[in-house]
Amino acid sequence: MEMGKLLNVRLSAEEAAMVAQLRQKGVAASDVVRNALRAEYLRQGGGQGAPLGPVELLLWLRERHAAPAAWKGRQVHAWDRKEVAAFLRKRLKAKRKRRVMGEERGGGGGEKCE
């Protein structure tokens, strides 16, 4: 998202304290302001004639719903068929090993009832 205009807002002492507490929790005041502006704009009926384009929508979604820091991303690249095949073989081998060891969950298949 390309940044443009700078918004200068005077805060009361109470609002400044809120900003300080949010900053301590890792929340950027600029994000709060942007989200509030978008929400109010949509609430007022704005944007009905000019929806976000696909690129802007994806950027907005990525900004709004960022992946957690612990997220590892993809374990395999889906367009590399050899990598996918190796990944699936590894997963199925581990699953078969658990089944043989009796650790497989669900599905029954244990002792017969007579």
Would residue 64 count as lying in a domain? no
- Euclidean distance between CA atoms 73 and 94, whole angstroms: 21
Q: Is residue 47 part of a domain?
A: yes
- Confirm whether pTM is higher than 0.75: no
In a domain, 39, yes or no: yes
Number of domains making up the chain: 1
Which tokens hold the place of 112?
């017969």
pLDDT band at 114 (very low <50, low <70, confident <90, very high): very low
Identify whether 67 is part of a domain: no
Give alpha helix (H) positions in the chain: 13-24, 29-43, 54-64, 81-100
Say if 26 falls within a structural domain: yes
Whether residue 56 is contained in a domain is answered as no
pLDDT at 113 over 60: no
Distances (CA, A) of 41 to 1, 28, 38, 77, 112: 18, 20, 5, 39, 64
What is the per-residue pLDDT across 22-75, written as a single tens digit (0 to 9) for each? 899 888 888 888 888 887 777 666 666 566 677 877 787 787 777 777 777 677
- On whether residue 43 sits in a domain, the answer given is yes
- pLDDT attached to residue 14: 93
* Domain extent at residue 27: 13-51
* Structural domain contains residue 91: no
Q: Which residue has the higher pLDDT, 54 or 108?
A: 54
